[in-house]
Amino acid sequence: MIDPLLEIGPRVTALPIVHGRGDFAWEVRRVMASYDFDCVALPLPASFQSTVERAVLDLPRPSVVVQKELRTNFDSYFSEASGEADDIAGPEELELGASYVPVDPCQGVIAAIRTAMGEHIPRHFIDLETAHFLPHSRLLPDAYALKQVPLQKYAAAVLPFLEPSPHKAWRDRVHFMGWQLRQLSVDYKRILLVCSILDWPWIRAAYLDRELQCPEHDPVNEVKQYQVDPDTLYFALGELPFITELYERARAELSDDAHLSIDGIKELLISARQTYREDYGNRARKVTPRLLAVITRYIRNLTLMDHSFSPQLVDVVTAAKQVIGDGYALHVLAKAKTYHYGSEMGLPEIRMGIDQAAFPDDSISQMSSRLPGPPVTWSQIELVPRPDRNRISQWRQKWNPYQQCSWPPEDELIENFRRAVFDRAAEVMGADLARTEKFTSSVKDGIDIRDTVRHWYDKDIYVKVLPPNRGRLDCAVMLFDSPADPRRYPWRTTWFAEHANESTLAFFASSYLDEPVGPGICLAHYGGSLFLYPPVTIPDIWIDPRLDFTSTLEERLLAAACLHAQSPHIALVSPSPPGPAWRALAREFKKTWVHLPLSRFSDSTVQQLRMVHVLNGKQVRSYAADFIRRS
């Protein structure tokens, strides 16, 4: 049974909604499926009816139905005054705006029209024809509250805070809709009015006012249907295009779509992960379920800070950037704006923006939605996008092959990691010499719980003794991709230290010229690297004839480490332990591998370390930070 709060009269039931919200569109469909109505009244002028209903039949392909404003007497006043005052624009300079109806599956009014057309329920567009439409919108409680609160309670909670618009044009529209409902109630017994919650109380008052005079229509232009440029579809739809697509897919598959406004965000993150992996290949960070859970918690916190239940796009992109990086955040942003049902419709195309649009004749007009949702504002987030092909081609042409250097922040990062590898390898070396003895007067390096429990019957306590490390490490080898494909890593070189705190570095990596990221800045990815610290001068290992007996990139790197290391122990970071061939290689040079599994280090750290930005001269360091992103 419909709550009495929503009943305007004995024959009229109101459904106050927030325009442009999928949860309210779902509620409209639920109410129309649960109750019988013999008429649906809609807050749009009659001049829009035939075109809007034709556009509804085109769904799921979205479009907009536009009505340009007519020049009024007020406009002609400026035209006559233009000869008297130089600062008044002439008639050819006056920009006339337009109003439009977004034919969006997530619009509650469009959902009502679509359902009524499917059920063959008569539709009546009862709004006043106005030459200049003034939208009435404000921030309202989150639509997702409808999942826990009935619509009548939502409306009752909002009602004390609603205020009428001060514009006479809005009052005329409300009065006309109330008058139209009285006329419809003569012919129909069960009328459903789907209207904005901001207009609902005053439409009800107008309906009950028997002395109300009917306002007159303004002369108006004809309406026209346009398809929306896919790149600007985000500005025409109430929900994200990706979420709107999920609603349409659920409609086609007859699946549950009650919670898609929230569950769709999770689906967005997973879909973006797939395109991110396809784009970056083995260089992509592993977007694990744990990281996705961190992102969703981050989104939740940002949303709660905005006093909302449903996240905004800027919240989703910010969380993706902070947790994983710019690369994944860009894929989330691109995926959020995709809508695969928007095929060619054979209509003129319009480019939408916030409260404005560019028409096919290149004219730009101010736009007012006839179904205005909550106010929309621009938000700013810093993301470093990938450059276009023309810029990449220019940067490649200007590259000087005789100048190259590293980027100091990356040098510092990888040197810190090299020190951490040395420290962990030293711990492993010392652990091999550890022994256990009975406690006498000192606990030495700590109580050995295992041996103490093993000899519980002696009632003695055993302690660990860790002797000091023998010698120092001066060489580390890091293999990030093994076995390495030589075709993937054509760039092989040896770099020497710029100062005493840097290592001598030999490595194989992807070609930096394949991925320019800025003027004089290219990006490569390490496949493997060799560090000698303190730095020493050595021949380039890739042309050293003493290492020609090796057959793979990894073997040449390991052989160079054995040849140039002074310490008998060499730290080796790799995905798997050294095999018999690598151990035999070390024995030949009287060395020993101290293996550290690559999995011991976090995936995010490893992916950051693998990135090496090559600069075309030291002068590029002054602006490199403006183009380099960490992702």
Which pLDDT does position 28 carry in this prediction? 93
**pLDDT averaged over every residue in the chain:** 87
Q: Which long-range contacts (CB under 8 A, 24 or more apart) does 544-552 make?
A: 552/483, 552/484, 552/486
pLDDT digits (tens, 9 = 90+) for 429-454: 766 666 787 888 887 778 888 888 88
Which pLDDT does position 471 carry in this prediction? 62
Query: Which residue reads 């590293």 in tokens?
Result: 406
Which pLDDT does position 71 carry in this prediction? 66
Secondary structure of 362-428 as H, E, C letters: CCEEEEEECCCCCCCCCCCCCCCCCCCHHHHHHHHHCCCCCCCECCHHHHHHHHHHHHHHHHHHHHH
Contact in structure between 355 and 249 (CB atoms under 8 Å): no
Secondary structure of 201-217 as H, E, C letters: HHHHHHHHCCCCCCCCC
Contact in structure between 573 and 476 (CB atoms under 8 Å): yes
Which pLDDT does position 257 carry in this prediction? 85
Secondary structure of 287-343 as H, E, C letters: CCHHHHHHHHHHHHHHHHHCCCCCCCHHHHHHHHHHHCCHHHHHHHHHHHCCCCCCC
Work out the average pLDDT over 89-105: 69
Which pLDDT does position 545 carry in this prediction? 92
For residues 178 and 211, what is the distance between their CA atoms, to the nearest angstrom?
Answer: 12
Which pLDDT does position 469 carry in this prediction? 60
Q: Is the pLDDT of residue 283 over 80?
A: no
Q: Is the pLDDT of residue 216 over 70?
A: yes
Q: Is the pLDDT of residue 87 over 70?
A: no
For residues 510 and 492, what is the distance between their CA atoms, to the nearest angstrom?
Answer: 9
Q: Is 601 helix (H, G, I), strand (E, B) or coil?
A: coil
133-137, 169-173, 280-284, 306-310, range with greatest mean pLDDT: 169-173
Contact in structure between 191 and 9 (CB atoms under 8 Å): no
Structure confidence at residue 279 as a pLDDT band (50, 70, 90) = confident
Helix ranges (H only) for 18-167 are: 22-34, 49-57, 73-81, 108-119, 151-158
Looking at the DSSP bridge assignments, the partners of residue 365 are: 357
Work out the average pLDDT over 173-202: 92
pLDDT digits (tens, 9 = 90+) for 359-388: 998 888 888 999 998 887 888 888 877 777
Which one has a higher pLDDT value, 432 or 349?
Answer: 349
- What type of residue is 91? P
What string of DSSP letters covers 423-464? HHHHHHHHHTT-EEEE-SS--TT-B-HHHHHHTGGGT--EEE
Q: What is the CA radius of gyration of the chain?
A: 35
pLDDT digits (tens, 9 = 90+) for 469-520: 666 889 999 999 888 899 999 999 999 988 888 999 999 999 998 888 889 9
For residues 16 and 141, what is the distance between their CA atoms, to the nearest angstrom?
Answer: 13
Structure confidence at residue 84 as a pLDDT band (50, 70, 90) = very low
Phi-psi region of 346 (alpha: psi -120 to 50; beta: other; left: phi over 0): left
pLDDT digits (tens, 9 = 90+) for 401-422: 888 888 999 899 999 999 999 9
CB within 8 Å of 529: residues ≥ 6 apart: 477, 478, 505, 506, 507, 557
Q: Is the pLDDT of residue 253 over 60?
A: yes
N- to C-terminal Cα separation, the chain: 54
